[in-house]
Amino acid sequence: MNRLLTLLLIFSFVVITLTACVDNTPTDNNESANTTAVSQATQTTLLDLFDGVTVEFETEQVGTAYRNKTTVNTEGVDSKYVSYITYTPSNKSPLVNGDTVKITAKIRKQFTEDNNLNIIDALTDGDYLVVTKDFTAEGFYEYISKASQVPETLMNSIKTEATEAIGEYGVDLIAGKLYFSEFSQHNLFAVFLGQDLGADTGLLSSATKVSSFEVVGLNSAYLAVKSSDIAKSRIFLVYEVKMTAENSTRNISSTEVSGFLTISFNNVLLDTDGTAVTESKNEWHSPKKTAEETVELMNAYTVEQIK
């Protein structure tokens, strides 16, 4: 009996000792797992709204006109966010190479908070976070600013266009289309016939007859540049013309009159390959009695004669 009691006491002592030696402190692995879970719940993602953005500058032809265009390309932006960001270029027209174009990127503040996004360099604008970035325009066609830049091929092209138009102008006059010609020959009669024959603009009547119209030739050509004008560079072609007209109701017999007719071509440009182009939108200007008077048409421009 005594022996059994002794064995029980020894067994109880061992159990108590083993229990006391057990360490209930969390292991390092448990601590790490808990810390990671907390970190993942509060982790934010840095987002650069311009990461993957490129800006393209190009000159496009719209009809016969050329227009500079700025396009924000977002193909490289993270697909998870791109549909939530808007990009807007600053409105500045006309743009030329070297101009600074400010692009504004906007994203809703609530979206960034819901997705734990930290937008780099963002400013708050109402419900949006806004980031701006400057880009330098390059790749546009450039306005020709010197007569030496006007190539012979371009001059030949616009000369052909101008002489064909003036020839049609003369045909209309001879055909008696006094009030229907697209080239407003009213001015031609008023200046040529009025000044030469001392008649007033009443000469513009159905009784006036033109029996001949002749383009003597190109007298001179000028490049006119004006930095503040929408048509920044123009080529003026000055043609000497003469015609024979009469008006029996005013006792004006067949008389030859002459003068200088001026046509201008707007927005003369060099494309990215250095090829010269123009909008080919010709404008007719009131005829003058002398070639020198035609230069007065360009007095608001910096003028250089094209040799």
As a whole number of angstroms, the distance between CA 56 and CA 239 comes to 42
Going by C-alpha positions, the residue among 147, 142, 143 that lies closest to residue 303 is 147
Q: Which two tokens stand for residue 163?
A: 């002489």
Q: Which residues contact 220 (CB under 8 A, 6 or more apart)?
A: 238, 291, 294, 305
In the chain, the percentage of residues whose pLDDT exceeds 90 is 33
What's the mean pLDDT when you consider all of the chain?
78
Which has more pLDDT, 197 or 95? 95
Q: In sequence order, which ranges of the chain are alpha helices (DSSP H)?
A: 2-21, 28-42, 109-114, 152-174, 185-188, 194-197, 291-294
Tell me the average pLDDT across 275-288.
Answer: 76
Tell me the average pLDDT across 13-30.
Answer: 47
Q: Is the pLDDT of residue 21 over 50?
A: no
Which helix H or strand E contains 286, and what residues bound it? Answer: strand 282-288
Fold of the domain built from segment(s) 142-305: Nuclear Transport Factor 2; Chain: A, (3.10.450)
Confidence of residue 129 (pLDDT cuts 50, 70, 90): very high
Q: Which of 7-16, 33-42, 188-197, 262-271 has the highest mean pLDDT?
A: 262-271
To the nearest 5 percent, what fractions of the chain are helix, strand and coil?
Answer: 30, 40, 30
Confidence of residue 41 (pLDDT cuts 50, 70, 90): low
Q: Is the pLDDT of residue 57 over 60?
A: yes
pLDDT at 132: 97
pLDDT at 184: 46
Residues 105-128 have pLDDT tens digits of 999 999 999 999 999 999 999 999
List the chain domain ranges.
46-136, 142-305
Query: Nearest 10 degrees: CA dihedral of 225, 227, 233, 235?
Result: -30
pLDDT at 292: 87
pLDDT at 101: 93
Of the chain, the end-to-end C-alpha distance in Å amounts to 137
- The phi, psi pair for 289, rounded to 5°, reads -75, -30
Tell me the average pLDDT across 223-234.
Answer: 78
Which has more pLDDT, 205 or 133? 133
Q: Is the pLDDT of residue 213 over 50?
A: yes
Going by C-alpha positions, the residue among 110, 145, 134, 113 that lies closest to residue 268 is 145
Tell me the average pLDDT across 136-153.
Answer: 90
pLDDT at 7: 46
DSSP state of 110: H
pLDDT at 8: 43
